[in-house]
Amino acid sequence: MAGRGEVKYLILVDRAVPYLLARVRWPDVAQALTAGRPDWLDDPGLFDLPYSQGAVGLTFRQAACVAAGWGRQLSHEAVAGVPSFIRRLPANWSDLSPAERHAWGIESAPRQRASARRVRRLRALQAKSGNSAETLRAAGGPANGSLGIVPTERRRHMRVRVDGQAHVRFRQTTISAGLVDLSEGGLRCVLPGASSVLAPGSTLDGPFLLEAEVPRLRICLDVPGRVIWQRSTGARTQFGVAFGRLDDGETDGVQRFLSAAVSRKGSR
């Protein structure tokens, strides 16, 4: 509509896992859906969401990825004629009432912590990766080995192999790259063809929306990042990113994400 701003896309997360996706444009668009209620719902309280401390802003491509995970195709315009939720205002998105949680289908019990077995398997893989990295260093091996270890990087957290996608905000665009490995400290991605866009030293504003192919998991890390290395071969370009500081919830989310991905990969 002429004279009106762009639609903003926002999510709410629990330990980095998205559970509510909203699109907002004052004064005509205030709609959202959730994992528990994957149908659009009008709610005037969503006009307060952009000012909520826990809300994370996404690009359209990132928001479309979240919606697709809940079985919905995201369009650029709001859907007309959807049901409305009548609430008492103002809305408090950091402390929803039982009635609000029921309306949005987010009454599910808190997710359990990753099982001890999964954690042990994850730690074993991380330790194996660490030993392999030391072996490559001692042998003077290549910077990119079959295990995805980059010896020239100094890391506090060893990365674990994860097949998936990373949707990364870079300047005014969103780059979708293949996710290769991940840890609490950073990630490695691959792009088809040669690329000089993400040069070492480039800063990424975040958030990082990550999804694993098996199982279909998604997490959103609302942190900045920095490209610390890049290697192009012509057929593809790999690059490594170091995250800014994760909070406790995001750290827990990454551990859950890795534990689930490692468990499912081991069962195939």
Q: What is the pLDDT of residue 142?
A: 36
Q: Distance between alpha carbon 22 and the CA centroid of its chain, in Å? A: 16
Q: What is the pLDDT of residue 16?
A: 97
Handedness of CA 141, 144, 147, 149 (dihedral sign): positive
Q: What is the pLDDT of residue 149?
A: 36
Q: What is the pLDDT of residue 139?
A: 34
Q: What is the pLDDT of residue 179?
A: 97
Q: What is the pLDDT of residue 128?
A: 57
User: Are the CB atoms for 65 and 167 separated by under 8 Å?
Assistant: yes
In a domain, 213, yes or no: yes
In a domain, 1, yes or no: no
In a domain, 140, yes or no: yes
71, 104, 137: which is the final residue of a domain?
A: 104
Tally of CB atoms within 10 A around 247 = 13
- 86-90 LR contacts (CB < 8 Å, sep 24+): 87/43, 87/44, 87/45, 89/44, 89/45, 89/48, 90/45, 90/48
Q: Which domain holds residue 230?
A: 116-266
Q: Tell me, yes or no, whether 33 and 122 share the same domain.
A: no
52, 71, 104: which is the final residue of a domain?
A: 104
Q: Tell me, yes or no, whether 16 and 128 share the same domain.
A: no
How many domains does the chain contain in total? Answer: 2
In a domain, 110, yes or no: no
Q: Tell me, yes or no, whether 122 and 100 share the same domain.
A: no
Q: Tell me, yes or no, whether 136 and 208 share the same domain.
A: yes
CATH of the domain at 167: 2.40.10.220
Q: Tell me, yes or no, whether 88 and 136 share the same domain.
A: no
Q: Tell me, yes or no, whether 152 and 232 share the same domain.
A: yes
104, 137, 171: which is the final residue of a domain?
A: 104
In a domain, 111, yes or no: no
Q: Tell me, yes or no, whether 250 and 137 share the same domain.
A: yes
Q: Tell me, yes or no, whether 185 and 249 share the same domain.
A: yes
Q: Which of 108, 33, 93, 86 is nearest to 63 (CA)?
A: 33
In a domain, 3, yes or no: no
Instruction: Please list the ranges in the chain whose pLDDT falls under 50.
Output: 1-3, 109-114, 130-154, 266-268
Give this prediction's pTM.
0.82
Q: What is the chain's Cα-based Rg?
A: 20
Q: Tell me, yes or no, whether 95 and 160 share the same domain.
A: no
**In degrees rounded to 5, what are phi and psi of residue 228?**
-105, -15
Q: Tell me, yes or no, whether 214 and 176 share the same domain.
A: yes
Q: Tell me, yes or no, whether 252 and 127 share the same domain.
A: yes
Q: What is the pLDDT of residue 109?
A: 39
Q: Tell me, yes or no, whether 122 and 78 share the same domain.
A: no
